[in-house]
Amino acid sequence: MEKKLGLAIIGAGRIGSTRARVAAQYPACRIVAVADINVDRAVELGNAVGAEFTGDDVGKAVSHPGVDAVLVATPEHTHTQPVIAALAAHKPVMCDTPMALNVRDAAAMERAANAYGVPLCFAYTQRFQRQYQVAKDNVQRGALGRILGGTVRVYNSRAPTFQILKRCPQVTPVVDILTYWVDMVCWLMEGNRVVEVFARGNGEVLRSAGYSADDIVWAILTFTDGAVVSAGIAYALPEQYPSLGQSPRLELIGTQGALLLDDERKNHFMYSEHGVMHGYVPNHSVKAAFLGSSSFGDWAQGTLWGPLADETRAFVDFVLTGRPGTIPQAQEARRTLEITLAIEESARTCKVVKLPFPEPA
Ligand SMILES: NC(=O)c1ccc[n+]([C@@H]2O[C@H](COP(=O)([O-])OP(=O)(O)OC[C@H]3O[C@@H](n4cnc5c(N)ncnc54)[C@H](O)[C@@H]3O)[C@@H](O)[C@H]2O)c1
């Protein structure tokens, strides 16, 4: 079968490599270019997936004539430059989350997408878990009546948190991880905007390792119509905590129904004296594990099972067919970023923060 869509992968780390391996197995596309500031990494991945171009030149990769679309999987604070380079080359982009670390960079990307008229998508991977798609369908049909509020919270061990902070010390668990669950609530409550945020945080583990992030943050989000949702994150649990990824729980209460999604995978348990390997943190294993709790999915029998595989293929399908899917675009991702930045600001200042933020100059 002819491979139709040519992809460039920018950032050949864990997520870029995972997406590249998934895309290389998908008959609808092929990997044409791989770029990474670490040339050895670009070459190793490029050779493994049959890329024509490998190197550290992002501009050359995105403007390669065989490249039709671009996946950006560089660290959180480095998204703006490769995203705008790809848009300027008129290539649709899917960039990993969070969009940016500040509103100025996010606005610059959104403006570039509008100016070039090119789709700019952000990888809110958790939307690709089947239960949230089904929930969205039902909520859209009015199954809950008017949503009055709810709660969402996510826990994880400190092992992945230290990986995140190592590559991007200025990011926080709120901006990096709670963002997926703020996005999920806002997606389920589409049409209703967060207008006010109040939060409190506390911490010791991450601070004693030299980072400024709180270990635990709890927020109350108030929506336009008065709906109230609590959103919390605790991302510094002990290294041997059995979750192998995000451990979330989401509940929405409406006038005519309730949605309760317990996604901790406590019911899929394995214990091994040999340890169960972590799919994201190198050389890390836990003796007791919630199987299937890896947020992006699990490689098993040569296939990636999970939301990152479905999302990567969905982006390819979207570019090939133009059929809108559930991957959010720049405006939605920027609103979600603003909510997480407001949570951090409120936790820091102990003051209520109003949204939306003013448009940056
Ligand atoms: N969708 C998901 O479920 C998911 C899960 C984890 C991480 N992420 C996101 O994916 C992105 C990458 O995370 P990761 O775990 O793969 O990180 P990583 O550190 O494993 O890989 C990042 C790669 O980018 C390269 N790089 C750094 N700056 C670059 C630049 N300016 N240009 C080109 N290459 C550059 C690094 O050399 C490295 O190879 C982050 O934005 C992160 O938040 C998404």
**HSE of 246 in the Cβ direction (CA atoms, 13 Å)?**
25
- The CA distance from 7 to 93, in Å, is 10
**Torsion of Cα atoms, 57 then 63 then 69 then 74, to 10°:** 20
The closest-lying atom of ligand 1 relative to the alpha carbon of residue 81 is 31
- pLDDT at residue 3 tops 70: no
* Mean pLDDT within 235-243: 97
* Mean pLDDT within 129-134: 97
- The CA distance from 264 to 109, in Å, is 34
> Which amino acids bring their CB within 6 angstroms of ligand 1?
10-16, 35-38, 41, 58, 73-76, 78, 82, 96-97, 123, 125, 167, 176, 295-296, 308
Residue 360's pLDDT is what? 87
* Mean pLDDT within 272-296: 96
How are beta strands 303-305 and 5-10 bridged, if at all?
A: unpaired
Q: What is the residue extent of each domain of the chain?
A: 5-123+313-328, 127-295+339-343
Question: Would you say how long the chain is, in residues?
Answer: 361
Residue 327's pLDDT is what? 97
- CATH domain 5-123+313-328 topology: Rossmann fold (3.40.50)
Q: Residue 11: which H helix or E strand, with range?
A: none
Q: What kind of architecture, by CATH, is found in domain 127-295+339-343?
A: 2-Layer Sandwich (3.30)
* pLDDT tens digits, 31-50: 999 999 999 999 999 999 99
- pLDDT at residue 1 tops 60: no
* pLDDT tens digits, 64-81: 999 999 999 999 999 999
Considering only CA atoms, which of 258, 278, 1, 324 is closest in space to residue 160?
A: 278
> How many CB atoms are located within 10 Å of the residue 88 CB?
15
Q: What is the mean pLDDT of the chain?
A: 97
Residue nearest to atom 11 of ligand 1 (CA): 73
CA 77–ligand 1 middle distance (angstroms): 10
